[in-house]
Structure 1
C-alpha cells in the first residue's frame, strides 16, 4: 500500500482528505477503527462544522475550527461507498454549511448500538481499487505541555540536526 500524497499522521484536515481522495474517485473508500474494518454499507450520517473557544489548563485562551463527520457502521447498502461519492457528500454539505478546509477533522463512529466514539484520521492509503483511512481514538491532551514538548523537540532538532553545530560538539 502506498500513501496517495504526503499527509500528516494525525489531525488530518478535511482538505487533506479530499485532496487525497481526488486522484481515485472510483476507488472504494474504507475506514478502519478499533482493529476492524467498517462494514461495506456504512453511511455518512452527519457533517458538522464547529468553531470553538476555550481556556486550557494553563489558563491560555484557545480557539480552533473542527469538522465532525459521523459514520454509522452498518451493512445497509449493496455497494460500498467510493471516494467520489464521499467527496460528493462533502461538496453537497458545503452548499449549506461553510467548511474550513484547514479545520481539524474528527470522525464520530458508532454501529448504532455502542456509544459514539471520537477518532482522528491518518492520511489515505491506496491499494488496488480501494482507499483506506485508519482511524484511531482521539486522546485527551494538555495543550501547555504539548506546546512545551514541541518547543523542546524543535530546539533539539535545531541543535543536533544533520549538520553538527557548536552546541552538539
Structure 2
C-alpha cells in the first residue's frame, strides 16, 4: 500500500523492446564461442584487453514522474576498456563469466541489460546493447547510450502510435 493514499501497490513491469536481454545475448554467443566478442561504443571498438570487472543484478521498485509504480529487474555488466596486449575476449569466455555469476548470484535472464563502460579514468557511462551481429570474423555488439525517459509520456506516445495504426485511413475499420 502507498502510505500517502492507501492505493494498492500494483507496479507496471517495464521493458524497452529495443534492449537485448542477457538470454538473447547468450543464445547468440552459444553458436560463436571461439569468435572474438567486440563491443562498440562512442564510434569505435572497446580495446582488445577489456575486462568484465563486475556483473551485478538488481530489482528496482520506483515511482515515475507521474506517480505510477514501476518495477523491473536489471543486470549490469561492467566493462573496463583497457588495452593489455591481448586480443578481444572470445564469446565463450564472456558466456562462462556470466554463467559463473549466475551460479553465485542468480541472474534473471529476461532482465533489462545495461553495460557500464569506463577506461578507469573517465566516469562510467551507461549503455544498452543492440542485437549482436557477425562481422569480420567476430561477434560485434553495438552499445548505445541509455537515455533518460519519461515513462508516462512514453506510454502515451505508444498508445497514440497504436491508435493511429489501428484507426488510420489505410487501416480499414477502426479496431477501437
- Could you state the TM-score of these two structures normalised by the residue count of structure 2? 0.85
Pairing 1:57–2:65 present: yes
Size of the alignment, in residue pairs?
160
Matches within 5 A, 1:119-158: 119-158=127-166
Match of 1:166 among 143, 167, 173: 173
**Aligned counterparts of 1:136 and 1:118: Cα–Cα separation in 2:** 8
Deviation at 1:9, TM superposition (A): 7.0
RMSD: 1.8
* Structure 1 unaligned blocks of 5 or more: 1-7
**Aligned counterparts of 2:136 and 2:17: Cα–Cα separation in 1:** 22
Could you say which residue in structure 1 is the equivalent of 2:24?
Answer: 16
Structure 1's consecutive aligned runs of 4 or more residues displaced over 3 angstroms after TM superposition are none
Q: 1:82 to 1:56 in 2, by over 3 A?
A: same
**Aligned counterparts of 1:47 and 1:53: Cα–Cα separation in 2:** 20
User: Which has more radius of gyration?
Assistant: 2
**With CA pairs under 8 Å and 6+ residues apart, which has the higher RCO, 1 or 2?**
1
* Structure 2 unaligned blocks of 5 or more: 1-15
Deviation at 1:80, TM superposition (A): 1.8
Deviation at 1:98, TM superposition (A): 1.0
Which stretch shifts more, 151-160 or 68-77? 151-160
**Aligned counterparts of 1:65 and 1:25: Cα–Cα separation in 2:** 27
**Aligned counterparts of 1:79 and 1:34: Cα–Cα separation in 2:** 20
Deviation at 1:77, TM superposition (A): 4.7
Pairing 1:76–2:76 present: no
| Partner SS for 2:23 | helix
| Partner SS for 2:155 | helix
**Aligned counterparts of 1:63 and 1:30: Cα–Cα separation in 2:** 31
Deviation at 1:128, TM superposition (A): 4.1
Match of 1:115 among 123, 126, 140: 123
